[in-house]
Amino acid sequence: MSTVETVSIEGAPSSSKDLNVIASPEPSKKTDVDEAVTVKKGKGKSSAEGIKPSKKQKTITSVPKTLPAVKELIKSWGFEDPDCASMCAMAGMAKGNLKVDFDAKLDSIAWTGECPACKSEIQVRLRALLKQADSGHDYEDGSDGGGIVCSKDDCFYQGYLTNMCGKNMSQDSGKYHSHCRECKGFGKCMGDCRTSHCSKCGKHYFAGWSGFDCNNCSRSKSKKQGSGRPKSKKGSSRQGDDECLIM
């Protein structure tokens, strides 16, 4: 607040010559609270009290070993739908069968091989293998779902890289490329693309194109039915000893 000071001029009546002079406000004094700044000392850095230092992002230098973690990794690299990614390829990443460059990320040269058609070298990027179908059912129609594509202009080869989840990766037309997505974890390769996973017994069986019933379930069912039949004695009729046969 400004203060008003009354000044009297010598020789003049005080009632008429009093002048009101507005004095400048006194400079405000900083309190101890204003001047005090509490600083927390961190590791080589300081920050005002109440403000937490930003956390450093962890640098990943190896591929995780679980399916959810691998999905999260490729999602952070820009893969749009990790749930639709090849589980065979993700298993190959986790097991170290596919080469992963953490600088190139999805553009890593994950596999190098030879084109079976023109014998030229083929370099396949991780992105292409993650987009590869887990079943090569289109092997008679050009194998369009395969991740291996020859880069030469006059060669039109396209195929599958199968068994990325195992020890022996190989090229295939797709007929013998089938990775089960229903088994636990990353799943596993079944071989023939006409093989299916039985939802009842959990085993793999040859379903063909027409969708045969699981032979494992049929076999176990016939065993149960056969175990309930009484064993026939030697020399007895099929109808049993108590029945009379009319000749």
242 falls in which pLDDT band (50, 70, 90)?
Answer: very low
- pLDDT tens track for 132-149: 999 999 999 999 999 999
pLDDT for the residue 33: 46
The stretch 112-130 carries a mean pLDDT of 97
- pLDDT tens track for 4-63: 455 454 554 544 444 444 445 555 555 554 554 444 444 555 444 556 656 666 777 899
pTM of the predicted model over 0.85: no
- pLDDT tens track for 140-188: 999 999 999 999 999 999 999 999 999 899 999 999 999 999 999 999 9
pLDDT at 102 over 60: yes
pLDDT for the residue 226: 56
The stretch 215-241 carries a mean pLDDT of 57
- pLDDT tens track for 202-226: 999 999 988 899 998 977 665 655 5
pLDDT for the residue 219: 73
pLDDT for the residue 225: 57
pLDDT for the residue 143: 96
pLDDT at 192 over 80: yes
- pLDDT tens track for 71-81: 999 999 999 99
pLDDT for the residue 223: 60
pLDDT at 129 over 90: yes
Tell me, letter by letter, the H, E, C secondary structure of the chain: CCCEEEECCCCCCHHHHCEEEECCCCCCCCCHHHHCCCEEECCCCEEECCCCCCCCCCCCCCCCCCHHHHHHHHHHCCCCCHHHCCHHHHHHHHCCCCCCCCCCHHHCEEEEEECCCCCCEEEEEHHHHHHCCCECCCHHHCCCCCCEECCCCCCCCEEEEECCCCCCCEEECCCCCEEECCCCCCCEECCCCCEEECCCCCCEEECCCCCCCCHHHHHHHHHHHHHCCCCCCCCCCCCCCCCCCCC
pLDDT for the residue 37: 45
pLDDT for the residue 211: 86
pLDDT for the residue 31: 54
